[in-house]
Structures are given as structure tokens and as C-alpha cells.
Structure 1
Amino acid sequence: MQPGLSVIVHGPETQGHLGELLDALTTQPFAEAEVVIAAVGDWARQEAERRAADDPRMVVVSLPEGTSDGAARVAGAERATGRWLHFVHAKDGLPVGAVRTVADRTAELGDSADVLVVDHLRSTWQTSGAPSEDHRFLARASRRGVPLADFPQLLRLTPVLGNRVIRADFWRNQDIAAIADGDFRDDEAYTALAVLLHADRIAALDHVAYEIRELREESLPPVTAAQRYAVIERYERLQQVLADQGAPEGPRAVLYDVMVRDLLRTFARSRMPEQVAREFFARASRAAVRWRPEHHQRPGGFEGIRRSLLEENAYTRYRAFQAANQKRREVKSAVTTGKREVGAKLRDHRYRRALSEPVDPNLAVFSAYWDRGVACNPAAIAAKLTELAPHIHQVWVVARAKAALLPPGTDHIIAGTRRYWDVMARAKYLVNNVNFPNSVVKRPDAIHLQTHHGTPLKRMGLDQLDFPAASKGLDFDALLARIDKWDYSLSSNSHSTRMWERAYPSRYTKLDHGYPRNDVFYSATAEDIRAIRERLGIAPGRRAILYAPTHRDYEAGWTPRLDLASLADRLGEDTVLLVRGHYFYGGAASPLTDLRRSGRVVDVSSYDPVEDLCLAADALVTDYSSIMFDYANLNRPIVIYADDWETYAKTRGVYFDLMAEAPGQVARTQEQLAAVFETEAWRDEAARKSLTTFRRRFCEFDDGRAAERVVRRVFLGESEESLPPVIPVDERIPAPTPEEANA
């Protein structure tokens, strides 16, 4: 039976939104509808095929990477069999019940209308579900359908295809795709307006049936001059369509208002280079004069002045008018703005002076964990840089209290000092696994490398907006300003790459090179492992279990989640617990005292680097810490202790269900945890299979040569194609286990 409605989801997987859309669709009842997914690229195809495997209502059309939105729409429409077509961009959403509502409404309409216009919501990275202004037009429009000439205000509806449901025969017979072909094939706004201009009758549904998700502008490719000019050409072509139709003045007047308002908004809000801005203004002026209806009256007030200046092509006067308005706003704002502190002014003066000096192409600044010292990915990159590019001088930023702990001979600067601002201003390379302070200026010829410091299970960046326990005190505007300074963002797996793109939307280059700090998991020798265990006091033949829990945002302090004394007693004399936590302190009365003296419990909370602890351990016990993703490189057993998973997932937010995709056995109580290690369950066949699946997904790019790839790509400027290829997971040989090292 022919479905009444085809929902055509089209486009690439962008910032994780396609997965959300498809998950929402699978929960909606729509027996008389089909979903055609025109998936662009491998990531979108994988997401689509995974859902379609469990939902026969979904059909996947696989399209190559780089397929344009217009081409994807056409491909989806060609595969669709429904009587009505609802185009849904992969980045957008459908509210609960939307499919059923649209299917019912289009079934009522039959062939009595060509287009059904619906209301929508609008979401950004900051806001969710804001109502549209289209409601006022839809409330007055005809439910049964009228010609555009009878209600031309429909042209004021937000020009996206998602708020227009189109009769399939009308789409094909009018050949809307061909009408919008050429320069306008990928211009969704043009196609959305053209649909209304060519329709015989348009019906309205005063009901929210679509969600527009606006991506952050800084996460999208820069807009070219040609794309700016194309906005003008769009409206000129549409005006010509109305002229060719001999349309009455009503639709032409409304389209003219829409055109002029959009062109002025584009000019005012877009940061165009001066030459492009002048040309845009001149072209917009010609369009405004050419297509102005005979009896058209300009509005009053500021808007009328703007339009008058546009029609006169008075670019200089328009800029002066803008500047005057801006000055007025600044003066008003200054009344409520306090003066800067004298010390900050002095610092700014020195820093500005240093910023006027040339960038030093052979100076690199490194920092890790908010200036804690030489650690993590930055440390591994710095070590490889010394080997491959010794001419680049390295300087580490360190907190004053940590300076004494630096390796001997490490050139360093103390944050906030005079030399600090001088070095920060002149450095060509700035490398960090967190963010540099807001006050650090991003110079155009400097390179900022964000290495990150883990694979995300918990929600990060903008994805924390809906989780106040996690985002408490986080200034998202300042966060975005810091993100916009990144030139490169490093990932150890595709999951991270996609989540960084979503949580930190900006125009940086993604480096799928692996985490340099994990290189040691493939280069360490048996001798290295024996030496580390000796330093930790672990006798040969003893089983060492590293216990590394993570922080809980919903707790005011650190709460022990395990009775370590009891667990150590259960596991016996031959097991050593390496405990890396923030609460493992005890006085003389502590039940752990004798266990510590015997070496059966070792506090490694302050031990660095953590990679040594991983190499020394026969197994890892953690809850939700990202250490599990790094440790998996060693192909050694991992046990998840998740006594509060539901609370953690609800308050912190997570990207996937760890209980369903764990790297090994899962224990929900201490009794279960002890039982796992009292038997062979911690390393049995089921645990090994889970770990293998986990490694293939999350150790994707970690093969022991990550630091080399980063240095060659970022510091030496080598091409992506010339870098050492990533060794497949199943072909890698990790460092020997402690048992193998002692053999």
C-alpha cells in the first residue's frame, strides 16, 4: 500500500544531530508513513543503517561524502513512494507526534492543495524550542488551501523546506528540483519560496511540526563573497518568476519587503571585507530599485531611513548611520560598565606591546591541566618535538607552586608574570590539553593545538547546557571564545572527533591522529614494566589492580565508594590495590594502616605519570573515568564498578550507555566486584570479547605513532597523506603484561 507521507531525512551527520533525529523517529508511531534517509557520508550511513536494521519503516539511500543538500533532497525524493513529501534536514528535529500530525493532515487534504505549511520551533546551542514568529500568519491562513494571491503573507514564513510539506505529484510535475537547479539547487531558502510561488493552492496547519536547529556560525565554513552575492540573486530570480507569471501586486509587494529586510540584515550582521561589503550594498541597491512595486510605501523610523539609504546606494552615509547607532549603544553600555583594575591595565599595556612584536617561528608554549606541569598529551608531543624538530624552543607554563616539581632543565614561565605575557605574545605554537585563559590573544599567524585529555563518556562543552550539576559556573560564551582560538583539535577515535565537533563547534581542523600520551602503551618494554612495579613496591608474581574512580558533580566532596580494607581482605595476600583517588587518606586508626604497611594497598593519587600505573597493573577497576579508554590500548582486563550509574548518567549526562557497551565485566555492588576477581570472570571469554569490541571502537587511532603524526603535521607542516598510516587495532602489539614481563 502506498504510504501517505514520506519523511525524507537528508544530509550528513553534523555534530551528532542526525542520530538524535533518527532516535526520536524510531519512538514515534507512524504506520502510514515511511522514512527515507538520504545519508551523506559514511558516518551518516552507519547511523542510518543501524536504526533501519530495527525499523522496517526506514529506507536508507547511501550517498558519497560531499553530496550537496540539493542533490541529497533529489535522491531522497526519487526513492520516496509517499503521496506527500516532508523534507527534514539531518541537523534538524521533529517534535514528538509531528509525523502523525502531518500524516493525518495531508490525508485530509488529498489533492486539494499542493503545499501544506506548518509551524516550527527554533533551537540554538544556547536555547531550545523557542517558538517561531510564523504563528501569527498561520493562525490567519486557510486550513483548506488558497492561492498565494489570496494570502501573500505566507511568503513571510521562515524560508526552510521543513515547514512546507509538499504533494509528491506537484513536486514532480512542476519539477521543483529543476526550477531550483543550477546556482540555486542547494539554496534551501530559494526552493522553499519557489514552492509557494508555483503552488496553485496552499493549506496551513497552525501546529508545530518541525524544529530548526541553528548551528553555531563559527562551526561552519566561512561564507564566501559569491555566497553573499547569491542572496541577492536569489531574490532577483524569484521576483522574475512573479513577473513572468503576471502575479498581482500583493505577492510582489510582500516578496519585496522580505527581500529588502533580508538584504539589510545580511549586510548589517555579516562581517564582510570592505570591498565585498561595498559590492554587496551596490548590488542590493540595484535590486531594491529595480523590483520596488509601483505603489510601495517605505516604513517609518529607522527602518525607513535604512531603506532610503539603500535605494540611493549611499554606502558611506549608511555606514555613518550604523556607526552613530553603535556609538549610542556603547555610550549607554558604558554607564553600567565598571573601570578596569589598575593592575589589569598595566598587564594589558605590556601584553599589547609584546603582541606588536613579530611571532617567533621557533617558539612553542606547552601547558597541561591548568598549568600543573609536564604531563599528558602535551608532554608526549614535546618529547617527540625534541627528537624531530630540536630547533623549536619549548617553554612550559606552570603554576608557581608546581615549578619545583618540573624535570631539571625545563624552561618555564609562571602564569601572570612579565615574561609569561612576553612569551605568550610571541610564541608561534601554543599547545594545551585544556584551554588557555580568556586573556590570551589568538594571533593570526600563531597556531593553537588543543590535545584534550580523554575520550568523552560524560557530556562536555555545550552538551552540558542541559545538565546544571555539571555546568555550574561555566560561562558558555567565554568557552566559545576560547574554542574559536583552536587551529587543531586532536582525537584518539571517531567517537571523540564527532563529540568534539558537537560539544565544541568551531572551524578548527580535526586531527584523527591518536593520543600521544598513549604511545608508551606500545613502546614500553618488559624491563620498563619491571622497573615501574619495583618503584611502586609490587613484588613479582603479585596481581596489581589499579582502582581509579572519577569525580561526581552531584557530590559536594569525595565519597569513598568501596570499603578498601574489606575488598583487600577478600582478594587475599597476592593482590595489590593501586588506589588513585582523592579521598584515600588515613590516620593511625585507619583500618587501612596495616594493609598499607604490607604493600597490599598503595596510594598512588599523586603519582605521575598515570601511564606508568597503567603499565604496572594487571587489571583496571574504574567507574566512569576516561582512563578506561586509554587502558584499553594495553588489551588488559577492565572491570566497571557502577554502583550509581543511573544517578551519574542523569546528573552528568553521558554519550552512550556504558552498561550496554562496557569494556569488560560490570559490577553494581562491592560483593559483585569481589566475586569477579575471586573467580576468572575478570578475564574470561565474555570479558575478552567485550574488551575487543571496545578497543576497536575507542582505540581507533592509538597505535604508538600519534606523537610523530602530530609533530609532522602541525610543527613540520607535512601533508596528511605523507604521515605514518594508522596500524589497524587487530595488528598492533601492545606492551607486555606484568606476567609476561616477569616470565
Structure 2
Amino acid sequence: MSETMSETAPDLSVVVHGPNVQDHLPALLDSLDAHPLAGVEVIVAAVGDWARETAERHAPAFTVLPLPEGAGDAAARSAGAARARGRWLHFVHAADGVPVGAPTAVARHTGDLPGTVDVLLLDHLRSTWHTVARPSPDGPRLARAGRADLALDDRAALLRLAPLLGNRVVRAGFWRAHERLLTTEDEPFAAYAALLLADRVVCLPHPAYEDRRLRPESLPPVPPEQRYALVDRYETLLALAADRPAVHGVLYDLMVRDCLRAFARARMPDDVAREFFRRASAATRRYRPDGHRHPAGLEGVRRSLLEEGAYAKYRALQQASHARRGVRSAARAGRRRAGTRLAALRYRRALTRPVDPHLAVFSAYWARGVACNPAAIAARLAELAPGVHPVWVVTAGNAALLPPGTDHVVPGTRRYWEVLARAKYLVNNVNFPDAVVKRPGTVHLQTHHGTPLKRMGLDQLPYPAAAHGLNFQALLERVDKWDFSVSANSHTTRMWQRAYPSRHISLDHGYPRNDVYYTAGAAEVRAVRERLGIAPGRRAILYAPTHRDYEAAWSPRLDLAALADRLGEETVLLVRAHYFYESASAWPAALRRTGRLVDVSSYEPVEDLCLAADALVTDYSSIMFDYANLDRPIVIHADDWETYRTTRGVYFDLMAEAPGPVARSQAELTEILTTDAWHDERAAKARTAFRRRFCEYDDGRAAERVVRRVFLGEDERLLPRVLPVDERTPAPTPEEATAS
């Protein structure tokens, strides 16, 4: 924090509470810690290890209260309030945000409030996965109420403000007096109850909170009891307002509105929907104010049917509305599908056949072949579950490169759609086509193909160069089909949760493709080097740059001829272009003829290249995270870091947390590789820290854990434990392999 907290009681205690949901907590705490907080203390009721570790980076400026994994929001708020010293409390959920300067402005305002005021109402901003900091509709309502303190009965319309604890600051004494009623997991109930219980309230039409709406598809399914709790919430609130006609009338309208919305949008099972409708209907009759009239039009019809308890009629009205929209939608969709009608017909027919529990479809890198995590999983599957038959999706051009005997299908063919429709397991390191249906009982396993340095998924939204041409809604619809998502480290798990918010289960088992870095022996290392033509005793440097979104076409970032000349005859450059590029014609032909440069752009698997290399030179490619498992030198060539970071977006500062020495120019790279800097003690220390963070779950048994969990259905707790980094033995280096 920028200034030291005073020993006197602060005006305001900001209580940040909850787990690190989709990795929003770091940004929230960073924003609070980046500016002076005069008269403000920050208390973080951190739920779980990730939230605690994030919060402790801001200690002692912030007070950190570690809470066990699974502690609810109500318990976290209560713990934070108990520790707070401020006269006023502002509860901020870890998934939400606070605009710059807002806490200080709020603290200044509360300092001038009379002791009769219990609640300060604030304006707020609204964000979703695709919108950022949009104004709320509450601002005009707050402005109309004025800034004088008032009783809720005189301005009952204030109940129509968004029911958030974050848009109301409560006097600490008031909170403690009513804590038993206000401490509940039902935040809207607590927000409404705070207003109902307050003697006086004051409005501040200033945005001082950011409400982040998480994707419903990323949240756990809502149990029936929670659906029914919506009705219970309003019945309790209406009981509190029994003798307050103006307040009762507004609450009643809110109850009917919210019940109708939940019934229409929640997609409840029929038995749950019937019971919900019955309970809501009874409540609307029981609490209807005298003289209350329904609005005109379709909304009035809906309210009348709810009040009557006419479930069948209401469903018929819904179906008629859906049918009208469906006819229009079908007409549009029919025109779009005209060119693919035959394939769609074949696929629909195949979907009517039973799911084959012994069929698994694998694909990698947009059907390039047998590679990456899917390949490692398929190999282990053949050993542990030989009854499951794998079929690979491979383009016609790559089919000739498949290992002999590989069962495969070419995209678009009749059998391609048949296996996609009938397979129980679908495994990919990217995504299957949008048209693929997630059938009940099937399992979609997303393996990914790297640890993210660059922004991915929804996190690309603020970066036009990276997001160009991406349909984020379609992306989320694909993500919603995932059942499992494989992760190599806790950093990756957190990034996938925020970049791909859905209900998938994270498999924190390691990347299966990296198993070979712990299972390969000296013989395998020698064999790979022999296949590549690397003579014993020569140093092999793997150069693997990544793709730039801001470049229209690929161009070499190094003068390889000059570099090879400086490195000498005993060094071989293994040069691998990113798979987005078809040609490596820019590689110097003379160097290729002498064997000092080997174009390995088309060589598969890439893991062999890592085993063969004495060192890796890369820029921002995820290969650095995989190669770190070998505990061999890594050099970062980052000549355009500022441009890359600005146009693509990154999750951490690679310049500060690199796995080895960093070169910002070819001259610096040459200096590093021609001295001991590439493998000295400083480089080893950086690599050790990097391995601990990013090789967290990779220990040689990742594929086994994935197969046992996904295909054999074994309990997570019974899987082979992840071996700590210090207890692992990587594959031997080329020097060790030659000596053995």
C-alpha cells in the first residue's frame, strides 16, 4: 500500500472475501494496493490456498485471514467483519472489482454522515465475460433520491437497485446488531434486508463497485432447493415489511418479476419446474397487496397465469412463443446450411444410433496427426484399457505420415461423422467443429497443448491483434462441451478457469506429452540424436520461435548464418518454425548442407527434439515450459517483448521470471551462447524457480492418471500421487547419454 495505515480506527474497512474465482482476485488486490487508501483498511478473508497466497503478497499492508477451502461467502464476510476496525464496512467479493479511488472517496463521504444513517447506497459498474465496466441503471435512481438521509418508506423505489452487498456500505454497529439475519449465503436477501432494517439511508450516485457477472455455464448446477429458496427469500422479506405498504408493494412486484424470470430462463427439470411454479403461485396469492392490478399486455397475462397456478396454460404460452421464434430461426439456419445439408443429414442419422462405449476419437492440432497430449494418452490407453478402440481424425494430406496400422478418418467423410456421433470419448488438444453435438453419456476431454504465457480464450478480448476473427460466443459453446481439462500446473489451472469459464473439471495431473522427459533413458537420447545426424560431442541447440499475431507473415528474427558462424563447427542448430507456417525456405541452404543447421519444422514428435538438444533458445513459445522438465539450459530471445506483450497480452512478466538468461538482441544472444552465461549458476537458479512453478504436476505419470480418471473412472484420491519436483529424475542429458 502506498501509505502506512494510521493507528486510529479507519473510517472504512473494505472486506474482500471469497476464493480466487476464475483468477479475478489478483487484479482486485493489485488495484486496491496501487493507490493511496486514506482512512481505509483492507481485510482479505481468503478462502483456500490460492486466495491466501495471492493475498499474502500484499501483507502487511492488507490484513489476511486464511480460511479453509470450501468456506462459504457468509462465513468469509463474518470473519472479515469480526476483524474490521472501521466505522463502516464495505463487502467486496473476490470475483468483483473496485474502481480506482473509490474506497477513499467512500471513506471521505462516510466521515460526514450522521450517526442515524445505517446504509450508504452506491452506484456500480457491470462487467461480464464480453463487456467491461458498463454503467448500471442504478445511477439515475440514486441521483433522483438526492443526497439527504431518508427513510426507506419514503423512497421504496430504492429496493429496485441491484441487490448487491457491494453497492451498499453499512455502519459496523448496524451490521453487528443484525449480523444473525444478514449473515447468509443468499446475498440478495442480505442486500434487501439491510435496507429493510436500516433506520436511515443515504445515496451516493458515484460508481464505487464493479459487479462481475460470471458465466452461468461456469458455475455449479443449481440444486432444486436453491430454486425454491428464491420464493422463500421473498416470503421472509415480505414478512419483514408486513406493516409498510409502500415497501411491501415494491417487494411484491420484485418477487413476481424474479419468479417469472427464473421460471423462463433457468431450464429446470419438469418436476422441479412444477414445484417451483406451485410455490411461486401460492406466494403471489398470499402476499398480493390490496387493490394490486396486473400490467397490461403479455406481461399481465403471464402474471395472471402464475397467480392462478395455471402451469399447463403457462407452458402452452411459452411453447407458442418458442415456436414462433423457432420458425424464424429455422428459416435462417436452413439458408445457412444449404451447402452442408448432406453432411448434416448423415450426422443426424448417426446421432440416432447408440453411443459406442468402446470407441474413442482422438485429434491434435486441427487434424495434423498423432501428436501431443492426445498421442500420449492414446498410447497409455492401449496399455491400461485395450478394450477402447481409438480412431484418429487426420487430414488427407497427413494421413500418409501416420504410424502403420493407425485407424483414422478424414474430416468431412461419411465415417468421420459416424465416429464423431457414436464415440463415447472425444479427445482433442484444440476443439472439435462447432457442429459436434455433446451427447448424454459422452466424455469430452480437452488436453490443451501448452502452458499459457500469452492470453488465451476470453482474455484475448482486449487485444484486437489476437482476437481478430474470433467468435467468442461460438468458442464458449465449444468450451461448454468439455467434461475435463488437463493442466500441468496451478498457474495453468487458474488461467484456464478464467479464459474458458465453464463447468469442466480440471485434471491437475500434468501434461501426458511430458511423461517422456522422465521415462526416456540414455539409449533413447542417443537414438534421437543419431536420427538427426548429430555427432557425439557436438552441442545441439534447439531454436523454436513462436507465432506473432501482429505480423502478416513469418520472417526470421535471427541471422542464423551469422549466429552459426559465431557458435562454431561444434554447434548444431535445430531450427523449428511454428506449425502455423508451411515453409522454412528462409533457412540458409549452405548451413543445411554442412549439417550445422537442421530444419526440424516438420519433425514429429517435438519431444524427441527436446531430448536431443543440449539447450533451448525460444522467445515466447510454450515449449519453454515443457523443456524445463529436462532441467537443461533455456535462453530467451525477446527482441520484441514490449510489442508482443502489448499486442498479444501475457499472464506474467517473462523478463522478470524467465527460466534462464534473456537476450534482447542477436548480439546479446550470441554473447550468452559463446560464454558460460547459458549454463552458469545464475541460469541454473532461474531454471530451478521456473521448474518449481511450471512443472508442478509433470512427473512421468500424467498419462496414466488421465487414463485411470477419465477412461477407467477411478477415484481421484486413488490415482498415483504427483512426485515433488526435487524427487524426480529427468532423462539424461546428451553428454550423460554419450558417457553411459
Measure how far apart 1:468 and its partner are.
1.2
- In structure 1, stretches of 5+ residues that fail to align are none
Residues 249-280 of structure 1, C-alpha deviations (whole Å, 9 max, x = no match): 11111111111111111111110011111111
Task: Determine the C-alpha separation between the residues in 1 that align with 2:28 and 2:106.
Answer: 17
1:213 partner amino acid: R
For 1:232-311, what aligned pairs fall within 5 Å after superposition?
Answer: 232-243=231-242, 246-247=243-244, 249-311=245-307
Aligned to 1:122: 126
Task: Determine the C-alpha separation between the residues in 1 that align with 2:67 and 2:711.
Answer: 35
**2:152 is the alignment partner of 1:148:** yes
Residues 669-727 of structure 1, C-alpha deviations (whole Å, 9 max, x = no match): 11100000111011111111110000000000000011111111111111111111110
Is this contact kept in 1: 2:584–2:599, CA < 8 A?
A: no
- More divergent stretch after superposition (133-142 vs 408-417): 133-142
Aligned to 1:463: 459
Among 149, 172, 180, the residue aligned to 1:178: 180
Aligned to 1:438: 434
Task: Determine the C-alpha separation between the residues in 1 that align with 2:474 and 2:91.
Answer: 35
Aligned to 1:672: 668
Measure how far apart 1:418 and its partner are.
0.8
**SS of 2:644 mapped into structure 1:** helix
Among 35, 38, 41, the residue aligned to 1:31: 38
Measure how far apart 1:282 and its partner are.
1.1
1:417 partner amino acid: T
Residues 403-437 of structure 1, C-alpha deviations (whole Å, 9 max, x = no match): 11100011111111111111111111111111111
1:4 partner amino acid: D
Task: Determine the C-alpha separation between the residues in 2 that align with 1:288 and 1:737.
Answer: 74
Aligned to 1:226: 225
**2:321 is the alignment partner of 1:322:** no
Task: Determine the C-alpha separation between the residues in 2 that align with 1:336 and 1:435.
Answer: 25
2:204 partner amino acid: L
- More divergent stretch after superposition (325-334 vs 702-711): 325-334
Task: Determine the C-alpha separation between the residues in 2 that align with 1:233 and 1:366.
Answer: 48
Measure how far apart 1:136 and its partner are.
2.3
Aligned to 2:199: 200
Is this contact kept in 1: 2:10–2:40, CA < 8 A?
A: yes
Measure how far apart 1:345 and its partner are.
2.3
Measure how far apart 1:336 and its partner are.
5.3
**SS of 1:458 mapped into structure 2:** coil
**SS of 2:145 mapped into structure 1:** coil
1:23 partner amino acid: D
Measure how far apart 1:524 and its partner are.
0.9
Aligned to 2:27: 20
Aligned to 1:209: 208
Measure how far apart 1:571 and its partner are.
1.1
Aligned to 2:101: 97
For 1:512-523, what aligned pairs fall within 5 Å after superposition?
Answer: 512-523=508-519
1:261 partner amino acid: R
Measure how far apart 1:142 and its partner are.
3.4
Among 72, 76, 83, the residue aligned to 1:79: 83
Measure how far apart 1:337 and its partner are.
5.3
Aligned to 2:11: 4
Residues 86-118 of structure 1, C-alpha deviations (whole Å, 9 max, x = no match): 000000001111111111111111424110000
Task: Determine the C-alpha separation between the residues in 2 that align with 1:633 and 1:219.
Answer: 32
1:392 partner amino acid: V
- More divergent stretch after superposition (39-48 vs 597-606): 597-606
Task: Determine the C-alpha separation between the residues in 2 that align with 1:198 and 1:165.
Answer: 14
Residues 272-303 of structure 1, C-alpha deviations (whole Å, 9 max, x = no match): 01111111111111111111111322222222
Is this contact kept in 2: 1:135–1:206, CA < 8 A?
A: yes
Is this contact kept in 2: 1:584–1:603, CA < 8 A?
A: no
**SS of 1:52 mapped into structure 2:** coil
1:147 partner amino acid: A
2:28 partner amino acid: L
**SS of 2:620 mapped into structure 1:** coil
Aligned to 2:5: none
Among 354, 359, 368, the residue aligned to 2:364: 368
Residues 113-135 of structure 1, C-alpha deviations (whole Å, 9 max, x = no match): 11000011111001111211112
Aligned to 1:478: 474
Measure how far apart 1:341 and its partner are.
4.4
Distance 1:132 1:584, change over 3 A: closer
For 1:481-630, what aligned pairs fall within 5 Å after superposition?
Answer: 481-581=477-577, 592-630=588-626
Residues 438-486 of structure 1, C-alpha deviations (whole Å, 9 max, x = no match): 1111111111111000000001011111111101111111111111111
Is this contact kept in 2: 1:113–1:144, CA < 8 A?
A: no
1:3 partner amino acid: P
Measure how far apart 1:331 and its partner are.
4.2
Residues 639-698 of structure 1, C-alpha deviations (whole Å, 9 max, x = no match): 100000011011001101101110000000111000001110111111111100000000
**2:702 is the alignment partner of 1:706:** yes
Distance 1:585 1:377, change over 3 A: closer
Task: Determine the C-alpha separation between the residues in 1 that align with 2:614 and 2:33.
Answer: 42
What is the TM-score with the length of structure 1 in the denominator?
0.96
Measure how far apart 1:572 and its partner are.
1.1
Is this contact kept in 1: 2:543–2:573, CA < 8 A?
A: yes
Residues 487-523 of structure 1, C-alpha deviations (whole Å, 9 max, x = no match): 1100010111111111111111110011111111011
Task: Determine the C-alpha separation between the residues in 2 that align with 1:455 and 1:566.
Answer: 32
Task: Determine the C-alpha separation between the residues in 1 that align with 2:441 and 2:728.
Answer: 38
- In structure 2, stretches of 5+ residues that fail to align are 1-7
Task: Determine the C-alpha separation between the residues in 1 that align with 2:271 and 2:723.
Answer: 49
Measure how far apart 1:242 and its partner are.
1.2
Aligned to 1:447: 443
Q: What's the Cα RMSD here? A: 1.4
Is this contact kept in 2: 1:109–1:144, CA < 8 A?
A: no
Is this contact kept in 2: 1:461–1:504, CA < 8 A?
A: yes
Aligned to 1:61: 65
Task: Determine the C-alpha separation between the residues in 2 that align with 1:423 and 1:328.
Answer: 35
Is this contact kept in 1: 2:428–2:448, CA < 8 A?
A: yes
Task: Determine the C-alpha separation between the residues in 2 that align with 1:121 and 1:607.
Answer: 51
What is the TM-score with the length of structure 2 in the denominator?
0.97
**SS of 1:116 mapped into structure 2:** strand
Aligned to 2:136: 132
Task: Determine the C-alpha separation between the residues in 1 that align with 2:450 and 2:328.
Answer: 45
- More divergent stretch after superposition (681-690 vs 109-118): 109-118
Task: Determine the C-alpha separation between the residues in 1 that align with 2:145 and 2:207.
Answer: 15
Is this contact kept in 1: 2:584–2:601, CA < 8 A?
A: no
Is this contact kept in 1: 2:392–2:406, CA < 8 A?
A: yes
1:518 partner amino acid: N
Measure how far apart 1:178 and its partner are.
0.4
**SS of 1:496 mapped into structure 2:** helix
Task: Determine the C-alpha separation between the residues in 1 that align with 2:473 and 2:191.
Answer: 33
Is this contact kept in 1: 2:220–2:503, CA < 8 A?
A: yes
**2:405 is the alignment partner of 1:409:** yes
**2:650 is the alignment partner of 1:654:** yes
Measure how far apart 1:394 and its partner are.
1.1
